[in-house]
Amino acid sequence: MITIIGAGKVGGAAVLFTALRKVTDEILLLDVVQGLPQGEAMDINHMLSEKGIDVNVRGSNDYSEMKGSDIVVVVAGSGRKPGMTRMDLLKVNASIVKGVVENIKKYANDSMIIPVTNPLDPMTYLTYKVSGFQKNRVFGMGNMLDLSRFVQFIHETTGYSRHSIRAMVIGEHGENMLPLPRFSTVSGISLLHLLPKQKLDEITQGTRQIAAKVIELKGATVHAPGNAISTIIEAVLLDTKQVIPVATYLDGEYGHSGVSIGVPAVIGKNGVEKIIELDLDLNEKEWFKKGVDSVKNAIANLEL
């Protein structure tokens, strides 16, 4: 069973995309708002029925119903408003996430946890510390979402099929994220051979800024994060060993410790099975460190 906590737009999208992948037979949608998860579950089940998909979606306000969950996704919290950065949400969401994680410890202590609430990296660190789970069992969604946006910019700029594009984004899920053209390809051909530096700089900066543009235009990002969550869930449940950039706790990797931040990792039935350390150049290391410093600064303001 998969449990998704937070029945807002992203939580609902995560349920829908996960159900469409047919990787589990039951999804529980939890929320403190009476009626909201139940209504969302009904709506999704009606769609799944017409599609002939036998995944049962349940809505509940009772945390105890998450017992037996293999994965718990934490989407609960306030979302970004136009003009806000992810870090603006730190204190209000830290309190919410801490309470949610305490309930996960109580009712789903054998699960893996995928934090999604912003600011993603500090919330992943908080989840890891409050849960007391092994670090391979707590991994945040952030860079998987950033990667999808980077792929779109590469597609728009080159005109080549999205199917041919493999991209990588690491670091903070925020203004200091690190899209990596050097480690991104079109059918195995490095972006460095396909686009001039000016274009690479443009799509890198665009990837960092595009979420704010989407929020400005429609109020929230919904479909891309919902899909990113379902991609990670699929990798765990099907034990695909897919390499996915996720926020996970570092203990010396990339030269940093005591912080949760996005790095490429092998994702399988044991969660984060291996962190892959890329050979970053000096400029890339500098950007990565900016993200680390930003996250550590946020962590210092958390009450654990």
Q: In terms of domains, do 262 and 221 share one?
A: yes
Q: In terms of domains, do 62 and 153 share one?
A: no
Beta bridge pairs of residue 266: 243, 274
The conformation of residue 191, written as its DSSP 8-state character, comes to G
Q: Global pTM? A: 0.95
Q: Give residue 134's pLDDT.
A: 97
Q: Do the domain assignments include residue 231? A: yes
Q: In terms of domains, do 171 and 99 share one?
A: no
Domain stop point among 142, 160, 181? 142
CA-CA distance, 88 to 122, in Å (whole number)? 12
Domain stop point among 142, 162, 183? 142
Q: Give residue 36's pLDDT.
A: 98
Q: Do the domain assignments include residue 178? A: yes
Q: Do the domain assignments include residue 252? A: yes
CA-CA distance, 133 to 105, in Å (whole number)? 9
Q: Name the burial class of residue 39, with classes exposed (0-12), middle (13-18) and buried (19+) by CB atoms within 10 angstroms of its CB.
A: middle
The domain in which residue 269 lies consists of 143-299
Q: How far is CA 273 from the centre of its chain?
A: 17
Nearest-10 crossing angle of helices 36-51, 9-21 = 30
Q: In terms of domains, do 23 and 150 share one?
A: no
Q: In terms of domains, do 166 and 130 share one?
A: no
Q: What is the CATH number of the domain that holds 94?
A: 3.40.50.720
Q: In terms of domains, do 60 and 92 share one?
A: yes
The two structure tokens encoding residue 170: 């690491």
Q: Give residue 264's pLDDT.
A: 98
Helix (H) or strand (E) run with residue 292 in it:
helix 282-299
Q: Do the domain assignments include residue 25? A: yes
pLDDT tens series, the chain, 304 aa: 999 999 999 999 999 999 999 999 999 999 999 999 999 999 999 999 999 999 999 999 999 999 999 999 999 988 767 776 667 888 889 999 999 999 999 999 999 999 999 999 999 999 999 999 999 999 999 999 999 999 999 999 999 999 999 999 999 999 999 999 999 999 999 999 999 999 999 999 999 999 999 999 999 999 999 999 999 999 999 999 999 999 999 999 999 999 999 999 999 999 999 999 999 999 999 999 999 999 999 999 887 7
Q: Give residue 219's pLDDT.
A: 92
Q: Give residue 86's pLDDT.
A: 65
Q: Do the domain assignments include residue 304? A: no
Q: Give residue 79's pLDDT.
A: 72
Q: In terms of domains, do 129 and 153 share one?
A: no
Domain stop point among 95, 120, 142? 142
Q: Do the domain assignments include residue 149? A: yes
Residues 6+ apart with CB under 8 A from 192: 181, 182, 200
* Catalytic hit among 46, 173, 193, 256: 173
Q: In terms of domains, do 99 and 236 share one?
A: no
Tally the domains of the chain: 2
Helix (H) or strand (E) run with residue 218 in it:
helix 197-218
The closest alpha carbon to 77, from 11, 3, 171, belongs to: 11
Q: Do the domain assignments include residue 27? A: yes
Q: Give residue 288's pLDDT.
A: 98
Q: In terms of domains, do 67 and 203 share one?
A: no
Q: In terms of domains, do 226 and 138 share one?
A: no
Q: In terms of domains, do 148 and 134 share one?
A: no
Q: In terms of domains, do 163 and 285 share one?
A: yes
Q: What is the CATH number of the domain that holds 220?
A: 3.90.110.10
Q: Give residue 83's pLDDT.
A: 73
In the residue annotation, 173 being an active-site residue is answered as: yes
* Rounded (10°) CA dihedral 35, 36, 39, 44: -150
Neighbours of 47 (CB within 10 A): 13
